[in-house]
């Protein structure tokens, strides 16, 4: 695969990502205008519980499906591997659903602050729908069906935002939003399963002890990693819920929504990267190194640009009730950036089937995050939660790089990624410390210029390849 094909695939995947970015930006004024920080906080807590429970239900089978898609075990095909992986995850879902019902009062109270019988039911519906949707989406991704993958992603995001609009028209509450969202997720999963099930799953499976234990052997060690990673992404908000209130969570959640502008760019890269890595790690390590540097440059430069233009972004898209989050959203950019860079630099141990390292890497990051939250959140509030998130992400990046490169050295130099990541961290902290001063823009511009200088070759390559891509499609 040459660099032109790589840019072409990233461009194709990015079409849906760009559409989702536009939809998400349009929805921010609706969320912040018509939902109070307290109501938005409740909605966000529900989504956090849903995502954490979903990560447990996977049992690592979503990643197992990707790993064995091109290398099916036994007499299985790619579709029968999908069936086996989904069935194992579904068993996990059933067990979790029983636990949710058993502790329904406690779960409802934690999510919305009081007991409501429907909340656990909506939680179960949401988890099942997202579980099915993920396997169907992964199938499109592995089949390199860019158009269908984009349609699926866009329909999920559009429907989610339409759900908020429906609730707003009804002058509904967070509880109403949770109900509408859960029902929408279920309907979308059903529609997609009717369209894609025959191309994704097969009932002709080869299931024996060797096949079963091979899947479990690979997937189960990854399950704690996925769970830990999901908890690590959300534990800061849970601490804010513990030491503050739903309004605190809502303010922090809005900062995350703004920071997720870069997360959408990250998603497009991540969706492309693993299939690309699986195809090339035994063929051309040089192209992997080049892509790492290119991706790092794109992420850091876009992040610094977003920080630089934060004021007009907030003036246009965010209601004044949420403007306090402007001080911390640049710090929250660090986590998705560090996560994406780690995907391009630290997968050596996974390629060598040493997946047990994953637990140690993400476990250390979670431990650091929890300790920092305990130290910082009670006294520093939003800033403490954001800083804990950023530092723990950097710890994850450093640890994953050291371990991954030990098993498969893919990168020719680490100096540039260290410099550029450090500049992003310094800029984010400076934004908080000197927020009211215009001197912060000198820091932002200086950091961006340095990044451009050290990645000038990558910038030149991106310009040339982007021109070729546009020329081909126009």
- Across the range 218-245, mean pLDDT stands at 85
Hunting for tokens 């992420």 — which residue is that?
Answer: 299
Highest mean predicted confidence (pLDDT) among 17-26, 39-48, 172-181: 39-48
- pLDDT at residue 1 tops 70: no
Q: Say what the pLDDT of residue 101 is.
A: 93
Q: Which of 358-372, 378-392, 404-418 has the lowest mean pLDDT?
A: 404-418
Which pLDDT tens digit goes with each residue over 139-157? 777 766 666 777 777 777 7
CA-to-CA dists, residue 24 to 29, 154, 423, angstroms: 10, 10, 27
The pLDDT value recorded for residue 394 is 94
Query: pLDDT above 90 covers what percent of the chain?
Result: 24
Q: What is the 3-state secondary structure (H, E, C) of 175-225?
A: HHHHHHHHHHHHHHHHHHHHHHHHHHCCCCCCCCHHHHHHHHHHHCCHHHH
Q: What pLDDT band is residue 72 in, cutting at 50, 70 and 90?
A: confident
Does residue 12 surpass a pLDDT of 60?
A: no
Long-range CB contacts (< 8 A, 24+ apart) of 30-34?
30/161, 30/164, 30/165, 30/168, 31/164, 31/254, 31/257, 32/254, 32/317, 32/318, 32/319, 32/321, 32/322, 33/319, 34/168
Looking at residue 262, what is its pLDDT? 73
CA distance 310 to 258: 9
Give the model confidence (pLDDT) of 267-298 as tens digits: 667 666 766 776 666 666 677 778 888 888 98
Angle among Cα 198, 202, 204 to the nearest 5 degrees reads 145
The residue behind tokens 């898609």 is 69
Highest mean pLDDT among 155-164, 195-204, 227-236, 463-472 belongs to 227-236
φ, ψ of residue 84 to 5 degrees: the values are: -60, -45
Q: What is the pLDDT of residues 338-369, one digit of tens each?
A: 988 888 887 777 777 776 787 888 889 999 99
pLDDT classification of 395: cutoffs 50, 70, 90: very high
pLDDT category at 32 given cuts 50, 70, 90 is: confident
- Residue 136: its pLDDT value, please? 82
What is the predicted pLDDT for the residue at 106?
A: 92
Residue 309 parent element (H or E): none
Does the structure show a pLDDT above 70 at 171? no
């Amino acid at each position: 695969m040459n660099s032109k094909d790589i840019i072409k695939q990233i461009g194709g995947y990015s079409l849906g990502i760009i559409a989702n970015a536009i939809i998400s930006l349009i929805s921010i004024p609706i969320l912040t205008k018509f939902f109070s920080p307290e109501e938005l906080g409740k909605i966000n807590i529900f989504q956090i519980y849903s995502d954490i429970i979903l990560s447990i239900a996977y049992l690592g089978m979503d990643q197992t499906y990707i790993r064995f898609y091109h290398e099916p075990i036994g007499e299985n095909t790619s579709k029968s591997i999908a069936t086996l992986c989904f069935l194992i995850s579904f068993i996990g879902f059933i067990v979790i659903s029983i636990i949710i019902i058993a502790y329904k009062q406690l779960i409802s109270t934690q999510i919305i602050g009081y007991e409501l019988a429907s909340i656990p039911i909506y939680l179960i519906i949401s988890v099942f729908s997202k579980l099915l949707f993920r396997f169907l989406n992964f199938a499109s991704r592995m089949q390199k069906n860019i158009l269908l993958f984009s349609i699926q992603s866009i329909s999920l995001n559009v429907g989610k935002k339409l759900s908020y609009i429906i609730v707003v028209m009804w002058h509904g509450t967070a509880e109403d939003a949770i109900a509408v969202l859960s029902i929408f997720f279920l309907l979308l999963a059903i529609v997609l399963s009717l369209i894609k099930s025959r191309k994704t799953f097969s009932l002709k499976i080869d299931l024996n002890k060797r096949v079963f234990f091979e899947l479990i052997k690979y997937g189960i060690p990854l399950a704690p990693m996925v769970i830990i990673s999901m908890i690590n992404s959300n534990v800061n908000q849970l601490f804010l819920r513990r030491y503050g209130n739903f309004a605190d969570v809502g303010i922090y959640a809005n900062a995350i929504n703004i920071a997720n502008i870069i997360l959408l760019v990250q998603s497009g890269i991540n969706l492309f990267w693993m299939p690309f890595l699986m195809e090339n790690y035994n063929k051309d390590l040089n192209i992997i190194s080049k892509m790492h540097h290119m991706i790092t440059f794109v992420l850091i430069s876009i992040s610094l640009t977003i920080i630089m233009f934060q004021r007009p972004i907030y003036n246009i898209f965010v209601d004044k009730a949420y403007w306090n989050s402007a001080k911390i959203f640049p710090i929250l950019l660090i986590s998705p950036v560090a996560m994406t860079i780690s995907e391009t630099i630290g997968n050596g141990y996974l390629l060598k089937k040493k997946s047990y390292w994953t637990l140690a890497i993400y476990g250390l990051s979670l431990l650091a995050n929890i300790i920092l939250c305990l130290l910082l959140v009670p006294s520093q509030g939003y800033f403490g939660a954001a800083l804990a998130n950023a530092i723990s992400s950097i710890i994850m990046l450093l640890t994953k790089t050291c371990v991954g490169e030990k098993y498969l050295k893919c990168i020719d130099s680490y100096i540039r990624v260290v410099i550029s990541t450090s500049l992003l961290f310094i800029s984010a902290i400076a934004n908080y410390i000197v927020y009211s001063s215009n001197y912060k823009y000198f820091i932002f511009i200086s950091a961006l210029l340095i990044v451009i200088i050290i990645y000038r070759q990558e910038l030149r390559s991106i310009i040339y390849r982007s021109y070729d891509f546009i020329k081909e499609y126009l």
